[in-house]
């Protein structure tokens, strides 16, 4: 279950008043979001509300026309995308995005940010072998944590959807993130898989902050400390799960909505 995070907990991500426009479409309009250490923040809203665009702005796939985004107090807007994994920001995409011709283990290893070799590594022999071994061990440890180590040698296409979803989280963990952005991790999962995902997020939060975009509202309510609701690019509500559940504007935004999953 969610735990309230006190306000004095350090802020990991601070998004303030961001606007994102796409040729005539206002995807985000003055959106703000705060994620604190060891907190799980849910982001919900109807299809097209701007949830993925918010993650795209944080991961620098799109550049906001206005507003600020800071990570541990430093502006992200001046940084190129490739630096983010080095800083400890990892994300999973709304689709699966696994390479079909790589094994599960290779897919996970590919999630490791390239680390500049230390001088000691370069002098030691054979450093490349050692780095490869370290990455394999780290990737295997992540697969163990996700409960899918027995599939390490399989190709993603041969695996059930629920297993593939775990592999993409294992891959994101290779960045050793302090901020993990998950875009619809529960889509297409069985009830059992969703329950296991809830448990996993509860355990990951002890070492990172998590922002979670999800249409599975019951799951978001179960794991989140706070929830931000987007509708038509604007934040229409933000607060603890019980307040969001009782909010009539939120109910109206969802009412009659058939949610399409990617």
Ligand X SMILES: Nc1ncnc2c1ncn2[C@@H]1O[C@H](COP(=O)(O)OP(=O)(O)OP(=O)(O)O)[C@@H](O)[C@H]1O
Q: Segment contacting ligand X (CB under 6 A): 20-28, 119-127, 168-176, 249-257?
A: 20-28
Cross-strand pairs, 183: 213
Give the nearest residue (CB) to Mg ion: 52
Which residues does 172 contact at the CB level (< 8 Å), separation at least 6? 90, 91, 92, 111, 180, 182
Instruction: State how far the Cα of 11 lies from the Cα of 31, in Å rounded to an integer.
Output: 17
* DSSP code for 116: P
State the nearest-atom distance from the C-beta of 48 to Mg ion, in Å: 8
- Sites for ligand X among residues 183-242 (CB under 6 A): none
> Which two three-digit tokens encode residue 81?
């995308």
Residue 133 phi/psi, 5-degree rounding, is -65, -40
State the nearest-atom distance from the C-beta of 247 to ligand X, in Å: 18
State the nearest-atom distance from the C-beta of 53 to ligand X, in Å: 3
Which residues does 108 contact at the CB level (< 8 Å), separation at least 6? 139, 142, 143, 167, 170, 171, 174
The residue within the footprint of ligand X, chosen from 42, 45, 156, 241 (CB under 6 A), is 45
Closer residue to Mg ion (CB): 51 or 165: 51
Closer residue to ligand X (CB): 53 or 107: 53
The residue within the footprint of Mg ion, chosen from 2, 39, 52, 142 (CB under 5 A), is 52
Whether the ω angle into residue 65 lies within 30 degrees of 0, i.e. cis, is no
Strand 66-71 vs strand 11-22: parallel, antiparallel, or unpaired?
antiparallel
Establish if 25 lies at the interface with ligand X (CB under 6 A).
yes
Closer residue to ligand X (CB): 53 or 226: 53
Q: Which positions touch Mg ion (CB under 5 A)?
A: 51-52, 94
Where does this chain bind ligand X (CB under 6 A)?
Answer: 22, 25, 27, 45, 47-53, 94, 262
């Amino acid at each position: 279950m969610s735990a309230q995070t006190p306000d004095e907990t350090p802020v990991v991500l601070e998004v303030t008043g961001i606007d994102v426009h796409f040729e005539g479409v206002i995807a985000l309009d003055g959106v703000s979001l705060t994620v604190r250490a060891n907190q799980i923040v849910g982001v919900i809203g109807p299809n097209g509300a701007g949830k993925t665009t918010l993650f795209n702005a944080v991961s620098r796939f799109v550049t906001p026309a206005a507003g600020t985004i800071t990570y541990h107090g430093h502006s992200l807007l001046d940084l190129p995308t490739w630096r983010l994994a080095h800083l400890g920001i990892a994300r999973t995409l709304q689709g699966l995005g696994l390479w079909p011709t790589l094994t599960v283990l290779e897919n996970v290893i590919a999630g490791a940010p390239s680390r500049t070799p230390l001088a000691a590594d370069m002098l030691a022999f054979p450093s490349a072998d050692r780095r490869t071994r370290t990455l394999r061990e780290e990737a295997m440890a992540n697969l163990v944590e996700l409960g899918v180590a027995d599939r390490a040698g399989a190709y993603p296409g041969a695996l059930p959807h629920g297993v593939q979803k775990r592999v993409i989280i294992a891959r994101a963990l290779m960045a050793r993130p302090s901020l993990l952005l998950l875009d619809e991790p529960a889509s297409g999962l069985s009830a059992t898989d969703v329950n296991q995902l809830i448990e996993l997020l509860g355990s990951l939060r002890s070492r990172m902050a998590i922002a979670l975009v999800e249409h599975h509202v019951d799951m978001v309510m179960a794991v989140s400390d706070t929830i931000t609701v987007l509708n038509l690019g604007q934040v229409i509500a933000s607060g603890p799960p019980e307040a969001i559940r009782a909010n009539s504007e939120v109910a109206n935004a969802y009412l009659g909505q058939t949610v399409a999953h990617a």
